[in-house]
Amino acid sequence: MNKVHFDKHRCKGCGMCVLFCPQKILRMSAGLNDQGFPYPELTDPDRCTACGMCFRMCPDCAIQVDKDGVKIKDKKETTDVTK
């Protein structure tokens, strides 16, 4: 099972994950974290392919992706959707 975890306390609300999600299933929250920033939320978790693009684009390392039970640790391990 694919899972994406967002560390809302590390997120600074830049929205890069939302912008680059190829499935367009992320949005910024209406609520704010303890630093006063919105954080990403999945709108449709079942459509997430765990491609890792959100993880790859996050400048704050606030996203963790588990693809088929394996945690992606290196940004080079993510799917290159530009090919």
Read off the pLDDT of residues 6-62 as tens digits, 9 standing for 90 and up.
Answer: 999 999 999 999 999 999 999 999 999 999 999 999 999 999 999 999 999 999 999
Phi, psi of 26 (to 5 degrees): -115, 150
CATH number of 3-77: 3.30.70.20
User: Could you tell me the pLDDT band of residue 79, with boundaries at 50, 70 and 90?
Assistant: low
> Which two tokens mark 28?
């910024």
pLDDT exceeds cutoff 90 at 72 = no
Higher pLDDT: 78 or 14? It is 14
Is residue 26 within 8 A of residue 18, CB to CB? The reply is yes
Closest-CA residue to 51 (of 73, 80, 71, 28): 80
